[in-house]
Chain A
Amino acid sequence: MTTTHEHPANPAAGDPDRPVGFGRIQRKEDPRFIRGKGRYIDDIVLPGMLHGAILRSPVAHARLVSIDISAAAAHPKVKAVVTGKDLEGLKLAWAPTLSADVQAVLATDKVRFQGQEVAFVVAEDRYAARDALELIEVEYDILPPVVNARRALDADAPVIRDDIEGRTDNRIFDWEMGDAGATDAVFARADVTVAQEMVYPRVHPAPMETCGAVADFDPIDGGLTLYETTQAPHAHRTLYAMVAGIPEHKIRVVSPDIGGGFGNKVGIYPGYILAVVGSILTGKPVKWVEDRSENLMSTSFARDYLMKGEIAATRDGKILAVRTSVLADHGAFNATAQPTKNPAGFFSIFTGSYDLEAAYCSVTGVYTNKAPGGVAYACSFRVTEAVYLVERMVDVLAAKLQMDPAELRLKNFIRPEQFPYKNKTGWEYDSGNYAPAMRLSMQLAGYEDLRREQAEKRERGELMGIGVSFFTETVGAGPRKHFDIVGLGMADGAELRVHPTGKAVVRLSVQSQGQGHETTFAQIVAEELGIPPEDIDVVHGDTDQTPFGLGTYGSRSTPVSGGAVALVARKVREKAKFIAAAMLETRAEDLEWEKGRWFVKGDPGAGRTIAEIALAAHGTLALPEGIDGNLDAEVTYDPPNLTFPFGAYICVVDVDPGTGRVKVRRFIAVDDCGTRINPMIIEGQVHGGLTDGVGMALMEIIEFDDDGNCLGGSFMDYLIPTAMEVPDWETGFTVTPSPHHPIGAKGIGESATVGSPPAIVNAVVDALAPFGVTHMDMPCTPARVWEAMQGRATPPV
C-alpha cells in the first residue's frame, strides 16, 4: 500500500497515559456483540407486550371489495384487528412519504402491489397473531397491473394512483440537469459517439435483521415511546408528530442496535405506524417484526433504473460529453428517501470523474404495481446508478476505440489542479487526485501482467476478464440551503460533556447500523481533545438523549456528524483554554495546545490537562468572565459542501465457457476517503460494499412475473453472496483530505457499493469479448452469461 499521508496506527496502544485519536483500534461496541448481548428490536420485551402481524395483498393490483374480520376478531388470543376503514376514522389510512407523496398504511380502496398492507392483527403472542391472519377473508376485484415501467406511460395503461385527484397517468416526475443544447452540439461535431441501453435491475438491501418496532403508548400522559429499526430517529419523530398528531415532545424514538440498514431502514413503513395504532387501541405495548418475505416484498427496494447512455469523444479518446435518459420505476408509491429538490437523487453526478465539455440527463419517474422505494442499498442517493452508467459507457467507448480502458480513464480524468472542480451539472467536487489512485490500483493488480495472461488464455479459448472502474462518490448531504428531506434541513448536531474527572460523553444525531460509530466518533473527540477514546462514551439512537439531526444514510455520518463532533470538541477545547488560563494565572492568548493539555508558551512544564481543567471547571475556581462552570458544548453542523470520495477498482474474473458461471478471482480496491479515522473500520466498510457489488453484478435481482407477482420474495430466490462467491479482497488507499471538512474526512460507507458493480460487469464483458459481446446487463448469472455467449443477451426487464 502507498499513501500520500497517513496517521500512525495507534502509537500509544495500551498506554493509558498517552492519548490516541486516529488509527486502528478495536471497536468499543464489539464486547457486547460477541457475547450475544446486542439489543436489537426483537430483543426488546416490555411488560404485557402484545404482538402484531400484517395481512398482505396476494395480488399486485385489485379493488378491495370486502374484508371480513369476524373470525379473526373472535380468536381467543386476538386483542385487536385493524383495517383501512378503521384507520380512515383515525385519519391514519394514508401517511406522507419522504418524497411528498402519500402511501397507504392499510389499503382502503385498492391494493397496488403484491405484499401491500391490508389488515393488522394484535394478539397475545406472535404465533396467534399469524394464526389470526389466516382467518381474515378478503375479496379482491383483480385489475390489470402495470409491471413493466416501459408500459407505464402507454395511453391505455391503468392509472395506478387514482387516489390522487385529477391523476390520469402514471407519471411521477420529469427532471433534467445539464445543458441539452450544448450537449447536442458537441455530439453533432464529435468524431466518435457511442450509445448503449442498460438496466440497473431492482435489488434489495436485505439487511440480516428485518424491520420492526415496539410501540409503547402511555394513555395517561399521552406519551409514545417507539423503539424501531430506523437509521434516522429524529426525522422519524418529527414525521410521527406531523402524521399522528401526537405532540413531538411526547414522542421518544429509540433506535436500538440495528442489524444492518443499507438504506432499508430510512423510510417510515406502515408496520411502524400500525404498531403505534395497536398500542393506542389496546393500551399495551405492541411489537411488530416483519418476516423475511415481508422485508423483500414490501420495504424499500433499490435501483430499477432503465437507462440509455451516450458518449461523444474525439478519435484519440478525449471524452467530450455524456448524455443520458432514464426511466425510473418507483413502484406504487413515491416513497424514495431523498432530498426534496432531487427527485432522481444525485444521479446528475453521471459525469463521473472526467473533465467534460457538456453533459445532459433527463429522468422520468413512473408508478408501477410494485413495492415502493428506490433509494436504498448503500446507493448514495443514486450515485450508484450514475457511476454504473458512466463507467459502463467508458468501457463501451474503449471497445469502440480499441483502447485500454484504464488508459482511456487516465486520459480523461479531472486534473488535480482543476479542484475544486465545477462539473457541467452544477456539482462542485471538493478535492481529488485521481491518476495516482488509478495507477496504484494497476500496480497492486499487476495490470500489465494480467493483460498478458489474458492474451495467452484467449489463445487457448479460456475466458478471463479484467474490469476497471473509477468512481467519484457524492456524499455528506448536505448544505441545508440545498438539501432537505420533507423540509428538514440536512444538518446534524453533537453535544459533548466532559465530566469533572475528565471522562466524556458525546451525543450524536446519527445512528449506527454496524458502522462502528461508538468507536469512530470517540476517536474524533480523542484526536481533538487528547483524551483516550475509551474514556469517551458515544450516545446515539435515542431522541430523548441526543440532539436533532437527520441521521445515517448516504454515507453522511462522517462528513456531517463527524464534522459536528470535531467542531464541538474544538469548542470545548477553546473553552478549556480560558479555564486553563485562570488556573495558570495567565492570559489565554499566552497558552499553546498540545494533544491533551494547554501550556504556557515557552514554558511547557506549566500546563493543565483536559482532566485537570474539567475538574476546575466544575470546582471552586474563579472562572473568567463569560465562562460558565462546566466543560460542555453543543453544535449543529451545516456542511459548506458535499464531500467527494473516490476510488479505482480492478476486478479479475474467470468465466466457465461451458456453463457461463463467473468466478471473481481477484478484486483490487483503492479508495480515497480523505482523512482516515480508523483504517480497520474503513477496510471493513469497503469489504462489505465490494460484496454488495458482487451480489448485484452476479446474483441479486427482484423480478416480477406478468401479473406482478414478486419472484424474489425469499432468500431461496433472492441470492446474496456467501463466503464462497467472494475473493479475499485486496485493498489500498490514497489520502486526499476534503478541504472544507473540519478533519478532512469524506466518508466511506457506500464507496465500494457504488464503485464495484461496473468493475465486475466490465470484467465479465471483457471476458466475453471473443464472442463479440460489448454489453450485458446485471445480474450476470450463469444462464444470462451463457445466453450472452450465444449472442442472445437480453435485458432483465
Chain B
Amino acid sequence: MQVSMKVNGEEVTREIEPRVLLVHFIREELGLTGTHWGCDTTNCGTCVVLLDGQPVKSCTVLAASAHGHEVRTVEGLASNGSLDPVQQGFMAEHGLQCGFCTPGMMLTARALLDKNPHPDELQIRQAISGQICRCTGYATIVRSVQWAAEHPAAAGDPPGTGTDEEDVRA
C-alpha cells in the first residue's frame, strides 16, 4: 500500500506492507535512526515521536495510521541550525548517558513545553512517566527540561546559543 505523511516538515510517500510499524517505517524506509526501539509492549518509550504534536510510541502505531498526518522525530528538533532548548538542556544538565532513550525523552519534553511552558517537577515527571531511562535516574532529565523551560529564548536564534557547529563545548 502507499502511505504519505509529513516527516519533519517534508512530504514523504512510500510503498509499504500494510503491517509495517511506524518505528520501522521511520528507521528503515526513511533512514532516520534517531528514533529507537526498545520493547514490543509500549512500555519503554524509546520509540516516541510526535504525531501531530502529540507524543506517541511508534512501535505500536502502524505506518498506515500515520497516513496524512505530521510526524516529528529527533532529527526535526533543531531548526535552522539551532538546537532546540530541550536539546541544549539535556547537554547542560547531563540528562543523558547512553543516549538511547534520549530522543523520545526530548520529544516528550518538547510536547510538554509547547502545552505548558512552565511545568513543575511533578508535571515533568508525569509527562515522561511512560518512558524508561535505565541510566540517569531521571533527576537530571527533570533538570534538563527545567533548563529548557528557563531558556525558551534559545528557541529562536539569539547570540550565545549552540548551533550545530558551535555547541560541542558549551
Contacts of B2 in A (CB 8 A): none
* A724 to B97 alpha-carbon distance, docked (Å): 20
* Prevailing SS type, chain A contact patch: loop
Instruction: Report the bound CA distance from A193 to B85 in whole Å.
Output: 59
Task: Determine the chain A residues whose CB is within 8 A of the CB of B75 once the complex forms.
Answer: 35-36
Q: Mark A206-230, 1 if CB is under 8 A from B, else 0.
A: 1111100000000000000000000
In the complex, are the beta carbons of B140 and A291 less than 8 A apart? Answer: no
User: Nearest chain A CB to B122's CB is how many angstroms away?
Assistant: 9
The answer on a CB contact under 8 Å between B96 and A33 is yes
Give per-residue flags for A283-301: 1 if the beta carbon is below 8 A from chain B beta carbons, else 0. 0000000011100000000
Q: Is B103 an interface residue (CB 8 A)?
A: yes
Once the chains are docked, how many angstroms separate the CA of A36 from the CA of B91?
13
CB distance from A354 to the nearest CB of B (A): 29
Residues of A within 8 A of B92 (CB): 26
Residue of A nearest to B169 (CB): A534
Q: Which residue of B is nearest A667, CB measured?
A: B137
Bound complex: CA A688 to CA B92 (Å): 18
Check if B168 is an interface residue, CB within 8 A of chain A.
Answer: yes
Whether B140 contacts A687 by the Cβ 8 Å rule is: yes
- Say whether, besides A28-B168, A30-B90, A726-B137, A715 and B98 are in contact (CB < 8 Å): no
B142–A259 CB distance below 8 A: no
Interface centre among B36, B121, B137 (most CB of A within 10 A): B137
Q: Which of B61-69, B112-120, B126-134, B149-157 contacts A (4 or more CB under 8 A)?
A: B126-134
Chain B window 45-62, contacts with chain A (Cβ cutoff 8 Å), 1 for yes, 0 for no? 010000000000000000
- Specify the chain B residue showing the minimal Cβ separation from A14: B169
Contact B134 A729, beta carbon cutoff 8 Å: no
Inter-subunit contact A292/B41 (CB<8 Å): yes
Known contacts A35-B34, A208-B98, A208-B101; A688 and B134 CB within 8 A of each other? yes
In the assembled complex, which residues on chain B have CB atoms less than 8 Å from the CB atom of A714? 39-41, 43
Q: CB of B17 within 8 A of chain A? A: yes
Tell me if B71 counts as interface (CB < 8 A to partner A): no
Nearest chain B CB to A14's CB is how many angstroms away? 8
Interface majority SS (helix, strand, loop, mixed), chain B? loop
Size class of A's contact patch?
Answer: 35 or more
Contacts of A453 in B (CB 8 A): none
Nearest B residue (CB) for A30: B91
Pair B91/A27 contact, Cβ less than 8 Å = yes
**Contacting residues, chain A, for B132 (C-beta < 8 A):** 208, 715, 720, 722
Determine if B147 is an interface residue (Cβ-Cβ < 8 Å): no
- Are A684 and B134 closer than 8 Å at their CB atoms? no
Known contacts A29-B99, A258-B98, A688-B134, A40 near B74 by CB under 8 Å: no
Within 1-47 of B, Cβ neighbours of A (below 8 Å) are at 17, 19-20, 24, 27, 31-41, 43-44, 46
Shortest beta-carbon distance from A226 to chain B in Å: 20
B90 near A690: Cβ-Cβ < 8 Å: no
Please report the number of residue pairs spanning A and B whose Cβ atoms sit closer than 8 angstroms.
182
Q: Given A35-B34, A40-B36, are A691 and B137 also a contact pair (CB < 8 Å)?
A: yes
Question: Known contacts A26-B169, A210-B38, A292-B39; is A688 also within 8 Å of B136 by CB?
Answer: yes
Q: Which of B102, B134, B136, B170 has the most CB of A within 10 A?
A: B134
B142 close to A715 (CB less than 8 A): no
In-complex Cβ contact of A37 among B19, B34, B96, B139 (8 A):
B34
Q: Chain A 716-734, CB within 8 Å of chain B: the 1/0 string?
A: 1000101110101100000
In the complex, whether A448 has a CB less than 8 A from a CB of chain B is no
User: Across the interface, which residues of B come within 8 angstroms of A178, CB to CB?
Assistant: none
Residues of A14-42 whose CB lies within 8 A of B: 25-40, 42
The minimal Cβ–Cβ distance linking A762 to chain B, given in whole angstroms, is: 20
A residues in contact with B168, CB < 8 Å? 28, 31, 534
Q: Across the interface, name the chain A residue whose C-beta is closest to B33.
A: A43
Given contacts A32-B99, A208-B133, A715-B39, list 7 more A-B pairs with CB under 8 A.
A208-B98, A208-B132, A260-B100, A292-B41, A513-B98, A684-B136, A723-B142
User: Which residues of B are in contact with A by a Cβ distance under 8 Å?
Assistant: 17, 19-20, 24, 27, 31-41, 43-44, 46, 73-75, 77-78, 83, 87, 90-92, 94, 96-103, 106, 121, 124-126, 128-142, 164, 167-170
